[in-house]
Structure 1
């Protein structure tokens, strides 16, 4: 007598997830608890400002045990039969169960031959929608998962010549705004070189490493950000420091900052006394560095503000500028 093996049950959650939020997470977690294998399908349109592949990447991070697929949206929202046929075609099978929070699920499942499970239609458990999130992600920040928060977090980078208060400013801003801040990896690295021979020279590979690590620090802490992420320097600034020490910029180092977006740069002016901390050697070129940051940011069409005066004056200017970044949020296109 042969023993029969129970066929695994399959489930489907389909949507735009534009963007994913904790309402989606509730739905997917519920579905995953009811079936052996869950498929999550992201419907992508070229007009959407957040690519489908990026939304899928987030969903894979949030739900690592689910199978996440991206398909082109056929843009027939009211045609349940067309969607049922399309779904069976790209899946290659008919799922046993389909989990939705919408009324469309009934006809969709009837045409597909699946069982519809309606979950939290009235949004009682998680009162949020993707439309609300797109209208102002900062207002509904608590409904976003860390990887999605990292995408929406406004990035503010503090740069400046040596001993102009960049680290003090970055720390103070983060403290006032109650958010995460990214410390300067290059400083840790420089301190590690303190006891090398005096004639020990810097090389490009070191700056490339510093830029890479700075990016890693930043991307990790962006997930912890409270709407804004404060950065004490970045890989763009590392390329300028490469020029300061080696006399020229380098393509390899410059590439580290490619496609990295910052909403605002804060340049700490060189109008305060130079303080020697044991690692600094650039008092004589502080003004050159200050001007260099301004010229490079202008060259790359980056938004910046120069902070002058006392620390209190600088901090007030910086805080006002950061708060405007959130207040100026505009509705994202649907």
Structure 2
């Protein structure tokens, strides 16, 4: 099955380049060759190819998702068009060369306007070049060029093995797939916003702020006055704020979130009736289901109580929060920050900060505690 890029016109011109591969993920080496092909031709067709269970699919990047990312990555390039080949219904390599080549030719032709254009395929594999030269149409319109892979010494295999260690090589659109997402939660007045900000700045990472606070200040409403429509906007607003940090150019592999939809859900369970909560459930299910968090740092309710917050509400909120974390399958990602302070750190802020750094290092594999 082949699907074309629906938002661009087919490529025109007498010379068309074709760049193909698994592209799981696309890195700057791929980009350099694609731009080279674009400079040497009137247009370039970029094709990602794969099947269910391939090396991309094994890390959560099936061929259809790679296609979407590639199309987004080149959305402002009029002379670069993206397509993909799903190989599920043809023999896997090395047994499917003829079928795959036939499909490749069909894919190229459906993306160009000139049937007589000269097509140059670019590959970094010598054996691919030799094989394609025997299987492509036997006429002067087709040729295969071998890329110089020594210019940029990076491989998709290395990126898959160590994404954070190879972060600078990953295409920006693909980075969102590999970013580690760390959520900081807790009852009001636990200092979660301060902790989120300081953890993020310790690692020079982007962080989101609590959207509901901004929304309530702008609307001038208290927690007890929020209606269903308010919570709907807060749920979507926080999700958008968190997504913006994942897609931020500042994303260095770690992203920190000050609350999310699970926190809002804990609030609605405390403030709204069962009937109103049921009306929000579908939105919560969809939003929380898309979060794919890597780590949740939970500040205990005792911190809020020590800061003068209502004890009954703080403990009720914490109870709801842990129930929700468990309900949505994030229990193994959640860690309570229970370290208590000593001496001048009587409030425990520094102790919890250090504990959080060690947990991130242990769970995510990023060194934040040693220089």
TM-score in terms of structure 2 length: 0.78
Verify: 1:261 aligned to 2:288, yes or no: no
Match of 2:31 in 1: 25
The one-character-per-residue Cα deviations of 1:226-254 (angstroms, maximum 9, x if unpaired) are 22211100122222222222134222441
**Equivalent residue in structure 2 for 1:319, among 357, 360, 364:** 357
CA distance in 1 between counterparts of 2:268 and 2:224 reads 15
Match of 1:213 in 2: 237
**Equivalent residue in structure 2 for 1:128, among 129, 134, 154:** 154
CA distance in 2 between counterparts of 1:313 and 1:146 reads 35
CA deviation after TM superposition for structure 1 residue 199, in Å = 11
Aligned to 1:189, the other structure's residue is in SS state helix
CA deviation after TM superposition for structure 1 residue 77, in Å = 3.8
**Equivalent residue in structure 2 for 1:233, among 241, 259, 266:** 259
1:104-143 pair list within 5 angstroms:
104-113=128-137, 114-122=142-150, 124=151, 126-143=152-169
Match of 1:58 in 2: 69
The one-character-per-residue Cα deviations of 1:67-125 (angstroms, maximum 9, x if unpaired) are 21121234224765444323223334686111122212244145324122222232x2x
Verify: 1:290 aligned to 2:318, yes or no: yes
1:36-55 pair list within 5 angstroms:
36-47=42-53, 48-49=57-58, 50-55=61-66
Verify: 1:270 aligned to 2:281, yes or no: no
CA deviation after TM superposition for structure 1 residue 193, in Å = 2.9
CA distance in 2 between counterparts of 1:304 and 1:261 reads 13
Match of 1:69 in 2: 83
Runs of 5+ in structure 2 lacking a partner? 1-11, 110-114, 341-347, 367-371
**Equivalent residue in structure 2 for 1:86, among 91, 103, 108:** 103
**Equivalent residue in structure 2 for 1:204, among 205, 228, 251:** 228
CA distance in 1 between counterparts of 2:18 and 2:174 reads 22
The one-character-per-residue Cα deviations of 1:163-211 (angstroms, maximum 9, x if unpaired) are 01110111111011221111111110111233x5x89821111111111
1:154-169 pair list within 5 angstroms:
154-169=180-195
CA distance in 1 between counterparts of 2:81 and 2:310 reads 54
CA distance in 2 between counterparts of 1:286 and 1:200 reads 15
Runs of 5+ in structure 1 lacking a partner? 1-5, 329-334
CA distance in 1 between counterparts of 2:197 and 2:313 reads 25
**Equivalent residue in structure 2 for 1:9, among 15, 34, 41:** 15
CA distance in 1 between counterparts of 2:310 and 2:215 reads 17
Match of 1:301 in 2: 329
CA distance in 2 between counterparts of 1:215 and 1:25 reads 30
TM-score in terms of structure 1 length: 0.86
The alpha-carbon distance between structure 1 residues 271 and 148, as it changes in their structure 2 partners (threshold 3 A), is same
CA distance in 1 between counterparts of 2:13 and 2:67 reads 27
The alpha-carbon distance between structure 1 residues 78 and 97, as it changes in their structure 2 partners (threshold 3 A), is farther
Indicate if the aligned counterparts of 1:76 and 1:82 stay in contact, CA closer than 8 A.
Answer: no
Match of 2:345 in 1: none
CA RMSD of aligned residues (A): 2.4
Indicate if the aligned counterparts of 2:262 and 2:321 stay in contact, CA closer than 8 A.
Answer: no
User: Between Structure 1 and Structure 2, how many residues are aligned?
Assistant: 315
The one-character-per-residue Cα deviations of 1:38-77 (angstroms, maximum 9, x if unpaired) are 1111112100231112111221122223221121234224
The alpha-carbon distance between structure 1 residues 95 and 88, as it changes in their structure 2 partners (threshold 3 A), is farther
Indicate if the aligned counterparts of 1:11 and 1:35 stay in contact, CA closer than 8 A.
Answer: yes
Larger relative CO (CA 8 A, sep 6+): 1 or 2?
1
1:236-247 pair list within 5 angstroms:
236-247=262-273
